[in-house]
Amino acid sequence: MRSALALGVAAIVVTAPARADVEVETRVSARKVEVGEPFRLQLSVLAGAGEKVSSPRLAPPPGIAMEGPSVSTQSQVTITNGRMVQHTGISATWTLLASRPGVFRIGPPSVEVNGRLERGQVVVVEVVPEGTGGRARRPPGRTPLDPFDPFGMFRRLDPFGGPRFGQLPPFDALPQDVPPVPEELQTSRALDPIAFLVAKAKPTRVVLGQQVSLNIYAYGARGDFQSLGSTEPSREGFLAYEMKPDERSYLVPIDGKVFTAKQVHALALFPIRTGTLRIGPASFGFLGGGYPRSRQGIGLLRESQPLEVVVVEPPLDGRPAGYRLGDVGRYTLSAT
């Protein structure tokens, strides 16, 4: 997951006791943040040979919205004193956003190792009102040692002192400011806990020939996504011209979660007959690491709601000379 968030700060690390063959570490990017200031919590797990590490979970407390997790996995075989040893690692990272001030106990995060539940540590984060001073911002660029190197805890296991899992890429240096959410992407409730579409037409009452702007927005709660197996809406009674959508991703808090949202369709529609015209559902296949596929060749399929547009004739009185039904535009009248 690559989200446009400013999160470069020193990490706070808590190592939890676990079984002898499993090591668990919990990290949080900041202990003090402002309302609306995103921060990250990361759970790193090291297991022995043949151990299956899966199902990372985190339940945020009320007042904390969450996106993720983004999961990275690595495995490597090393030979020490002629003995071959295999280790498997997983790092799960959640992006968190507080909607109100307070002191919050977050976690513990957990993961399953061969069906056994392993837990990290609870972390405590203080959230202060917006503008009163959260954590310090890091200047642009990367620090020489990334505090959120997901497998930094494993370096000491390499007898030669090198990176335990090779040259793993650190998190990207992220922009300093969280982009504001456009008004058209804001919504009061999530139509589905994992992913959903919203269709918006404007205006919904027009005269014959007047443009209707149709936009389809996709929302996903499991990180960024691409399209696989999507279709445009039906629009009988309209001439349609495809517009270029704004393909940027935004993080939108909804119902205690953080959704990734983006515009996926943009159409300019021109009605060619009067009456109540129907715009059918659009479909979108969510393709991403956290989204299960509906079937082969199709991402997680979701549909938008159908819409109706009322098309009327303009009034007879005051029509300009030479006007024909379907003519639209700006006209200037002058009187003496």
Whose CA is closest to 318, among 329, 300, 308, 331? 331
* 48-52, 162-166, 261-265, range with the lowest pLDDT: 162-166
Task: Please write the tens of the pLDDT for every residue from 88-131.
Answer: 778 888 888 888 888 999 989 998 888 888 888 999 999 998 77
pLDDT at 134 over 50: yes
Both tokens of residue 247? 């393909």
Q: What is the pLDDT of residue 11?
A: 52
Sheet holding 283-287, edge to edge: 226-227, 283-287, 300-303
Number of other residues whose CB lies within 10 A of the CB of residue 226? 11
Alpha-carbon distance of 308 to 318, in angstroms, equals 28
Whose CA is closest to 24, among 153, 149, 162? 153
Contact 211, 238 (CB under 8 A): no
Q: What is the pLDDT of residue 308?
A: 97
Both tokens of residue 109? 């995060």
Structural domains for the chain: 12-157 (2.60.40), 183-312 (2.60.40.10)
Average pLDDT, the chain: 77
Whose CA is closest to 262, among 287, 281, 245, 285? 245
* 151-165, 203-217, 233-247, 252-266, range with the lowest pLDDT: 151-165
Indicate the pLDDT class of residue 165, thresholds 50, 70 and 90.
very low
pLDDT at 270 over 80: yes
Q: What is the pLDDT of residue 139?
A: 41
pLDDT at 265 over 90: yes
Task: Please write the tens of the pLDDT for every residue from 273-291.
Answer: 999 999 999 999 998 877 8
Task: Please write the tens of the pLDDT for every residue from 210-253.
Answer: 999 999 999 998 888 888 878 999 999 999 999 988 888 888 88
DSSP 251: E
pTM of structure? 0.52
pLDDT at 258 over 60: yes
Alpha-carbon distance of 120 to 123, in angstroms, equals 9
* 6-15, 38-47, 156-165, 289-298, range with the lowest pLDDT: 156-165
